Amino acid sequence: MANIKSAIKRVQVAEKNRLRNKAYKSAVRTLMKKYLAAVDAYAANPSAEAKQEMQQHMAAAYSKIDKAVKCGVLHRNNGARKKSRLAASIKRKEAVTAG
């Protein structure tokens, strides 16, 4: 354990930041899974309600990803990649159902 006052404070700050980062990353993963489940539900049974729910989940996931990038939890390229993969998932499902 650190003996110097500033080192003790840095340990405390690092722990606080680690917990915040963990919470953001967990929330991002949860929202992404909910969105992907909504995409699967929409692909299985395309309806206006399913599409609306899918879009709400997408907006929530995008919002949380953007906030994580803004706070420095995720790198901006990492956030962009996650959003791109979410957008591509619906494109793949639409291509499969259309073709």
42-92, pLDDT tens digit by residue? 999 889 999 999 999 999 999 999 999 999 999 999 999 999 999 999 888
pLDDT (average), residues 1-21 = 93
Per CATH, the number for 5-98 is 1.20.58.110
Encoding tokens for residue 39? Answer: 């995409």
38 and 78 in contact (C-beta within 8 Å)? Answer: no
pTM (2 d.p.): 0.86
Give the Cα separation of 64 and 53 in Å (integer). 17
Structural domain boundaries in the chain: 5-98
